[in-house]
Amino acid sequence: LITSEQLKYVLSYTASAVDELKDELNALDRAIGDGDHGHNMSRGFQLVLKNIDNIKYQSLSEVFVFVGTTLMSSIGGAAGALYGSLFIQTGKSLPSDDKELTLDIFVGAFEQGVGAIKELGHSDVNQKTMLDVIVPVLDLLRTDQKINLSMISDYAKSQSQLTVNMKAEKGRASFLGDRSIGHLDPGARSSQVIISSICKALTLV
Ligand code: ADP
Ligand code: MG
């Protein structure tokens, strides 16, 4: 399905994209949070990058768990635990042998990962969080329509924009109440860029 070299390419491409986004994410988080989201995300993905050559590729499952534990231990903040659980739970739900992997099975595992965010965050869609990008993308992957990588990427982008008009009900931004309206959610932006980078990198490998 995907070789370890290709996977390393996808991860390093994504890590660079997150790093380039650092200032923007800090600024978004400064507007409705405490301004650390860019630093948090960049630190996490740089550590993934640093350890990338130590990955002994056995299965996609192990790589997801590796990425999740690395992010969990390094990102900090709410997003660290949430992104960490997403990757760890997705990884644990993937088959241990890539030969058994199909798109349906991948989507099922991703759904378990999204469930882990909801459970840990006591959160769901329409609360102005990363879930407002991740859940619609999961739903798109589940449709019977013919979809391609650029559609997924565009959809993530348009969904992230919808968080601008939402009122935050979770995380620090929720302390602002109605004043959170009118700002793009930093976690929605980081999720969108992670998803778009993965899609883009997959077309380049
Ligand atoms: P912190 O708020 O601890 O400083 P970050 O700034 O790194 O953490 O991350 C903030 C982002 O995390 C928010 O923009 C939002 O998307 C996401 N988030 C916060 N709380 C939750 C939650 N309960 N469920 C889902 N996502 C959340
Ligand atoms: Mg923050």
Average pLDDT, the chain: 95
Residues 155, 137 contacting (CB under 8 angstroms) = yes
By most ligand atoms within 8 Å of CB, the mutation choice from 170, 180, 190 for ligand 1 is 170
The C-alpha angle 180, 184, 187, rounded to 5 degrees, equals 100
Ligand 1 atom with the smallest distance to the CA of 34 is 4
Which pLDDT score, from 0 to 100, does residue 78 have? 92
Question: Is the pLDDT confidence value at 158 over 90?
Answer: yes
User: Residues 126-148: what's their mean pLDDT?
Assistant: 96
User: Residues 184-191: what's their mean pLDDT?
Assistant: 98
- Atom 20 in ligand 1: residue holding the nearest Cα: 171
Burial of 136 (0-12, 13-18, 19+ CB in 10 A): middle
The predicted-structure confidence for 4-43, as pLDDT tens digits, reads as follows 788 889 999 999 999 999 999 999 999 999 999 999 999 9
Question: Is the pLDDT confidence value at 56 over 80?
Answer: no
How many other C-beta atoms can be found within 10 angstroms of the C-beta atom of residue 53? 8
Is residue 171 in contact with ligand 1, taking CB distance under 6 Å? yes
**35 CA to middle of ligand 1, Å?**
11
**9 CA to middle of ligand 1, Å?**
27
Question: Is the pLDDT confidence value at 52 over 90?
Answer: no
User: Residues 124-149: what's their mean pLDDT?
Assistant: 96
Ligand 1 atom with the smallest distance to the CA of 41 is 7
48-57, Cβ contacts within 8 angstroms, sequence gap of 24 or more = 48/11, 48/15, 49/11, 49/12, 49/15, 52/8, 52/11, 52/12, 53/8, 55/4, 55/8, 57/4, 57/7
**2 CA to middle of ligand 2, Å?**
34
* Backbone CA torsion sign across 15, 47, 120, 128: negative
Which pLDDT score, from 0 to 100, does residue 71 have? 95
Q: Which residue has the tokens 């990588």?
A: 149
Is residue 71 in contact with ligand 1, taking CB distance under 6 Å? no
User: Residues 107-111: what's their mean pLDDT?
Assistant: 98
> Predicted confidence band at 126 (pLDDT cuts at 50, 70, 90)?
very high
> Predicted confidence band at 77 (pLDDT cuts at 50, 70, 90)?
confident
Which pLDDT score, from 0 to 100, does residue 17 have? 98
Is residue 34 in contact with ligand 1, taking CB distance under 6 Å? yes
> Predicted confidence band at 183 (pLDDT cuts at 50, 70, 90)?
very high
Question: Is the pLDDT confidence value at 3 over 90?
Answer: no
Which pLDDT score, from 0 to 100, does residue 115 have? 98
